[in-house]
Structure 1
Amino acid sequence: MSTASPRRTEQTEIERKYDVHESARVPDLAGVGGGTAGAPVVDVVGHDDPVELAATYWDTVDHTLLGARTTLRRREGGGDAGWHLKLPPSAGTSGRREVHWPLGEPDEPVPDALRRLVEARLRGRPVHPVLRLETTRTVTRLLDGSGRRLAELADDVVRASNPDTGVLRTWREWEVELAPGVDGDEGERLLDAVAERLESAGASVSSSKSKLARGLGSEPAGPSVTGEGAGGAASTVVPAGAPAPAPKKKSAAAFVASAASGLRDELLAVDAAVRDGRPEAVHRLRTTIRRLRALLTVWDGVLDPALAATVVAGARHVGQVSGVARDVEVARGRVATRASSAPAGFVAAQATGRIDARLGERLDEAVGDVRRLLDSGAWFDLLDAVDALVAAPATGTHAADPAAELSAARLRGERKRTKRAVRAGLAAQDATDLENGAAAVSALHDARKAARRLRYALEADRLRSGSGRGRARRAEAVQDALGEHRDALAAVRTVREVASFAHRSGEDAFGYGVLATLEARGAEDALRRFRRAARRL
């Protein structure tokens, strides 16, 4: 379990749900796991008294969170009363992330600490109660011979009422959830063993993804379910619209749409990370935005042209705002590194403290700009545009082209473009004063951007083709060298600025000169690395 604030707690929920008839009896689970290699064995079974739970689920009028496999509820009763936010599993994981917040008063709004984790989905839209669940829950606790908790089986009799429609539904389900620390292969084998025992008692794998979906009637309800409105008529939920036809396999449209969809999902995840102040979150935001721009620029003419152009324009603005914050973040980390490489006593703590304080002020301002951006209509419009781009039919002139052939042609073009930019950057090194030679610095910056776009394009295509790693690494070496050069020159400017203020205040500026010299030397080293990397490109 991890905590992101003194009041907020998190855990990973790994569970399986089962439909069961109202007359079924929970089977004896003692000894479960004994016949499954690698599974823990249930030795002790404890039965708790039934408890009454009441949960109110919150969502938008069009059930945005439900569509994203996310649930937000306020639950009263039981041992975990409070606000619960359940998020879908992250890539490569099996368990859902569950975030808890204290219950508060009945009339309190959704806690900001939870809302910000799903704001990329809500995009400023209001939420309201969409379902009320009253559950009679009887828990069976499963322990091993040492008393270690393995899992819990919740036998739930559920009564759902929809405040918007007046529809009432009831059903019964069993829910098996692993205890904290029981996961991986051990947990899966235990769940498999429990499943055999439950299915032999008449249970079947749940036909619904969540209680919310079942209560709203947006999924099949399984056995022993009633669904009546105020007038006794059955209620059905009609999908808002049919998805666009899937592009042909191995077409350029299939490849680019899949890559764009993956980057869209990363944007939704990184939005919450930035709002939550997670380490490296701003860097993830900037990198994901740049990858999206590179994808749609290199493979232009594949997806819907108008939507793609809207996304590229919006992404450019987001990249600029997040780039400022990331650059200051990097600069601040350089101060201690450079000071530690100076001869002992050459750089006073007062000097590094002044620089760190100045950069800290800039970072607070820049991160504030990023967070304000994430609450802006421009960010929500961009997310809407990305959603539309992924869902819309691919109408570009190259949509039906074979992905392999189009990618080969586009990557050849990117390599030629990058080599031209790198040659121009190499020529710019003849300038005698790179820090003040605006044209030279601009040429090197263009070379870096070209190398970065080539790298991102190669990495995107590698997910399709499985090749291109070596070329991507060579492009990354050029990008890194020129990035180091740019960061070093920015550090020199910052040190000079702070040194000027310190000098006017009567402070000894010797240490600042040492730091500036070390950074200038770092810039020269970076240019030598760039020349070597350029030869290998």
Structure 2
Amino acid sequence: MTTEPSPSLEIERKYDVDAGAPLPDWAALPGVARVGEPEPRDLDARYLDTADGRLAAARSALRRRTGGPDEGWHLKQATPEGKLETHWPLGEGDGDAGDVSTTSTTADADAPTLPAAVIEGVAGLADPPFVVLARIRNARVAYALYNAAGGVVAEFVDDHVTALDVRRGISSSWREWELELGPAAPAEAPQRAALFAAADALVTAAGGRVAASESKLGRALGV
């Protein structure tokens, strides 16, 4: 059974990069003493909304994702401070008809059954039925960025994304980077801004740029 949800606030920066872009030296960021070992993750997510897009209208997104340390259901809501994410881990019997290995668009369009806890969690935004908007697969390599005391200042991920806009039947692929603040990140806004400004400079030097789309889902749907 799906357990109680856990909320968290994501403060992050996303970058568009070319396939051959070299990784920046993230140890050059202020407050970062060393970069952790690479951690590969294979992620597979289906994004859902009502047919009339009520979640999108509320600047929210709902997905069911397998793979990685936080696999499960995620509700992301845009706030002035960052993205408020509510996470429900996968539970026994929480199946997904499209989890089998396939490239069939029929399987991609099969909406997973929402557990009661997730339906309750999105009730203030939208009610069933939900349809699948997109399926996004991501070959991710994650790196923890540590301060001198061993605290995680941020997590950097190098993503190779393959997406399917289910309703239009349009596939796309791209590479992007993401830098998300961790528990040892600066607490004050000016210091956080300085950290992101330094990150922007490192990415620019590597040939990247701040992402044109604020989310993978938005890019997959062309919005």
Q: Which residue of 7, 10, 27 maps to 2:7?
A: 10
Indicate the SS of the match to 2:144.
strand
Check the 8 A contact 1:21/1:203 in 2, yes or no. Answer: yes
Distance (whole Å) between structure 2 residues aligned to residue 25 and residue 59 of structure 1: 36
Alpha-carbon distance between aligned partners in 2 of 1:215 and 1:62, rounded to the nearest angstrom: 18
Match of 2:210 among 193, 205, 209: 205
SS of match in other structure, 1:115: helix
What TM-score, normalized by structure 1, do the two folds share? Answer: 0.36
Partner of 2:21: 24
Residue from 119, 131, 136 that aligns with 1:133: 136
Counterpart-to-counterpart distance in 2, 1:106 and 1:162: 22
Count of residue pairs brought into register by the alignment = 203
1:6: Cα distance to partner?
Answer: 5.6
Q: 1:363-374 to 2 correspondence within 5 Å?
A: none
1:169 aligned onto 2:175: no
Code of the residue aligned with 2:4 in structure 1: it is: R
Q: Confirm or deny: 8 A CA contact 2:39 2:143 kept in the other structure.
A: no
The answer on 1:192 being equivalent to 2:179 is no
Whole-Å separation in 1 of the counterparts to 2:118 and 2:35 = 35
- Render the CA deviation track for 1:378-408: whole Å, top value 9, x for unaligned: xxxxxxxxxxxxxxxxxxxxxxxxxxxxxxx
**By how many angstroms is 1:94 displaced?**
1.1
The higher relative CO (CA closer than 8 Å, separation ≥ 6) is in 2
Choose from 68, 80, 83 the match for 2:73.
83
User: TM-score with structure 2 length normalisation?
Assistant: 0.83
Task: Please give the alpha-carbon distance, in whole angstroms, between the structure 2 residues aligned to 1:163 and 1:103.
Answer: 23
- 1:452-471 correspondence to structure 2 within 5 Å: none
Instruction: Say whether the 8 Å CA contact 1:84–1:98 is kept in structure 2.
Output: yes
Aligned partner of 1:115 among 110, 115, 119: 119
Letter in 2 for 1:28: D
Task: Kindly report the root-mean-square deviation, in angstroms, between the aligned alpha carbons of the 2 structures.
Answer: 1.9
Shift of 1:85: 0.7
Q: Which residue is equivalent to 2:101?
A: none
8 Å CA contact 2:152, 2:184 repeated in 1:
no
| Structure whose alpha-carbon radius of gyration is higher | 1
Aligned partner of 1:95 among 62, 82, 97: 82
Aligned pair 1:43/2:33, yes or no?
yes
Deviations 1:229-285 (A, max 9, x none): xxxxxxxxxxxxxxxxxxxxxxxxxxxxxxxxxxxxxxxxxxxxxxxxxxxxxxxxx
Shift of 1:70: 0.8
Give 3-state SS (helix, strand or coil) of 1:157's partner: strand
Which protein has the bigger helix share? 1
Contact 2:154–2:184 under 8 Å retained in 1: no
Note the C-alpha offset of 1:125: 4.8
> How far off is 1:88 after superposition?
1.2
1:412 matched residue in structure 2 = none
Partner of residue 178, structure 1: 181
- Superposed CA deviations along residues 284-336 of structure 1, whole A, max 9, x for unmatched, are xxxxxxxxxxxxxxxxxxxxxxxxxxxxxxxxxxxxxxxxxxxxxxxxxxxxx
Structure 1 unpaired stretches of 5+: 34-40, 219-537
Q: Secondary structure at the match of 2:203?
A: helix
- Partner in structure 2 of residue 486 of structure 1: none
Tell me how far apart the structure 1 counterparts of residues 200 and 142 of structure 2 sit (CA, whole Å): 16
SS state at 2:124 partner? helix
**Deviation, structure 1 residue 50:** 2.2
Mapped to 2, the partners of 1:161 and 1:62 lie a distance apart of: 19
Deviation string 1:429-448 (CA, Å, 9 cap, x unpaired) is xxxxxxxxxxxxxxxxxxxx
Measure the CA separation in 1 of the matches of 2:121 and 2:75. Answer: 9
Per the alignment, residue 292 of structure 1 pairs with: none
Give the aligned partner of residue 95 of structure 2: 106
1:94 maps to amino acid: E
Structure 2's unaligned 5+ residue stretches are: 97-111
